[in-house]
Amino acid sequence: MARLDSLVIFTTVVKANNFTNAAHSLGLTPSAVSKQISLLEDRLGVRLLNRTTRSVSPTEAGQLFFNRCNRIMEDLEEAEHMVRDLETSPRGTLKITATPTFGRSLLMKIFSAFLKQYPEVNFELILADKNLDLVREGIDLAIHLGSLQDSRLVARPVAKQKVILCATQEYLSEHGHPKDLNDLNNFHVLMVSGIDYAEPRWIKRFIKEAGLQNKERRFTVNDLDTMCEAMLNDMGIAALPLYLLKPHLENGKVAHVLPEVVFPTRTIHVVYPENRYLSAKSRAFVDFMADYFESHQLN
């Protein structure tokens, strides 16, 4: 049996934790699998597996060997995908994770537009307020706002998160327009709090520069979607991402308050593991998302 075949058998046994399950997935008999592992150990001169009647587990040497072998298997699989993608258009399921607000408010529009161009792609979306383990969860891409902490991930910037002050025309007709940031103390201010991805430095800077530290706020909530709904129901002035407000600005329901006030922007990244080949469907989506933000003037 070829040396590569023995590596495939070894990695399969470690993942399956026993010879029987590994043999079933490989289409071999348990005795044949056990024999190949023994031959591999003889060739290397080291014991790779601890064996019991029901399960196996890697020794210290076996774990080191498995880590490298598994990487080789992943590289081979990615090489096959890369070659196949040269002759194929984007197709298959694209598994993506994003924050709930970004997913609900914008991704559906991007997905819909993308599918018109690439109808053979399917989407599986996981909405989560926390960062997920992309490799463990089998996730192709993550939409990430702000700086990236995990060095094992590749982050491609695709857009900026632009934040503006806003209020409904009805609210402003009743209460008037603020003259400057300090004048906001004379208006109802709505604030988002309690979630890291929605309360970056621009919120803290906004509070400080507007002198709002001690102002009693009409409404505070830990969800951007709910904050936007509060603003749309004429409850006050809020600082919100442009992608949430775009349709309401265009139909005239919402006005940009104090447009001279510029909030710091955060970069929106598409993130994927550094050792994972970016498939045709993933590459197409990343490019499409960057173009979408540019063409719809959301940056």
**Has residue 151 been placed in a domain?**
yes
Condensed to tens digits (0 to 9), the pLDDT of residues 43-91 reads: 999 999 998 878 899 999 999 999 988 888 877 876 776 666 655 678 8
**Has residue 32 been placed in a domain?**
yes
Cα–Cα distance, 205 to 192 (Å, whole number) = 13
Tally of structural domains, the chain: 3
Do β-strands 49-51 and 56-58 pair in parallel, antiparallel, or remain unpaired? antiparallel
Residue pointed to by tokens 């289409």: 27
270 pLDDT higher than 60: yes
Confidence category of residue 150, pLDDT binned at 50, 70, 90 = low
**Has residue 149 been placed in a domain?**
yes
CB atoms inside a 10 Å sphere around CB 268: 26
CB atoms inside a 10 Å sphere around CB 174: 9
Q: Are residues 11 and 79 in the same domain?
A: yes
Can you read off the two tokens belonging to residue 6?
A: 């023995």
Range(s) of the domain holding residue 110: 92-158+267-295
CATH number at residue 36: 1.10.10.10
Q: Are residues 80 and 103 in the same domain?
A: no
**Size of the chain in residues:** 299
pTM > 0.85: yes or no: no
**Has residue 262 been placed in a domain?**
no
Residue pair 153/134 in contact (Cβ under 8 Å)? The answer is: yes
126 pLDDT higher than 90: yes
Of the candidates 167, 240, 256, the residue with the CA atom closest to the CA atom of residue 206: 240
Per DSSP, 145 falls in state E
CATH number at residue 109: 3.40.190.10
- Report the pLDDT value the prediction gives residue 200, as an integer from 0 to 100: 47
Please list the residues that pair with 164 across neighbouring strands.
Answer: 240
Last residue of a domain, one of 70, 85, 100: 85
Condensed to tens digits (0 to 9), the pLDDT of residues 83-101 reads: 666 556 788 899 999 988 8
Please give the share of the chain, as a percent, with pLDDT higher than 70: 85
Residue 137, CA distances (Å) to 84, 91, 124, 128, 141 in order: 24, 20, 12, 12, 11
HSE, CB side, 13 Å, CA atoms: give it for residue 86. Answer: 5
Q: Are residues 108 and 75 in the same domain?
A: no
